[in-house]
Structure 1
């Protein structure tokens, strides 16, 4: 697991900016494995903290408890998640949808908005928010 405090806060404001930001993250990771990134943002969409969880070819864990603890620690107002699918299919899996809904419920109870969850491949990006899943 990788954690990084944002030194000069980058604004991740909107889908296109989030897609570019996480595509850059993906470019630095092993494309044969699934990786999950969690960006914690403030009210102005400035990135306060970035966390990466590395998985394998079949998936990466979404550690809900750790995400919520980090949100409380950093005073996050919102979360933006992104993960890659090494298969090349950017469609969210049933597991992706289920675990994202669980995180949305828990984060809402903590007054932290789950702003989006992107699924990326080298050629495509799907937004669960845009798909009506959040």
Structure 2
């Protein structure tokens, strides 16, 4: 699902991104992924969401790259939730995010961060040195 952001919010850092994405996961009992497409000034120009199940959500690399090309995105920020309550990125989270980052490099797209939410807690791939 692709949605137009009503106001071009600037996602300039972990706290701004955390505040932006937190409402997306308030009542979610399954994993879901949100992707914010950003312009050169880190303004959110589009949001895409992808549904998962109770234990996982795929990172659809082809869809994200395709949207980025169509939208002329300069960067993306990913956010997904762990209903289990653990905000530590899983091995599959790390592998899939790295695959996206490598594919993104080919089109000059930057994966700026990937946030993992679990209740009120949030972990940043950027802060962990994973991006």
1:22 aligned residue: 21
Counterparts of 2:51 and 2:57 in 1: how far apart (Å)?
A: 6
1:70 aligned residue: 67
Pairing partner for 2:85 from 73, 88, 91: 88
CA shift, 1:19, in A, is: 0.4
| Structure 1 residue runs without a partner (length 5+) | none
* Number of residue pairs aligned between Structure 1 and Structure 2: 131
Q: CA RMSD in A?
A: 0.9
CA shift, 1:109, in A, is: 1.0
CA shift, 1:85, in A, is: 0.2
Deviations 1:28-52 (A, max 9, x none): xx42100100000011110111000
Q: How does 1:30-109 map to 2 (within 5 A)?
A: 30-109=27-106
SS of equivalent residue, structure 1 residue 95: helix
CA shift, 1:24, in A, is: 1.4
Q: In the alignment, is residue 13 of structure 1 matched against residue 32 of structure 2?
A: no
1:113 aligned residue: 110
Q: In the alignment, is residue 3 of structure 1 matched against residue 8 of structure 2?
A: no
Pairing partner for 1:124 from 121, 124, 129: 121
TM score, norm. by length of structure 1: 0.94
TM score, norm. by length of structure 2: 0.97
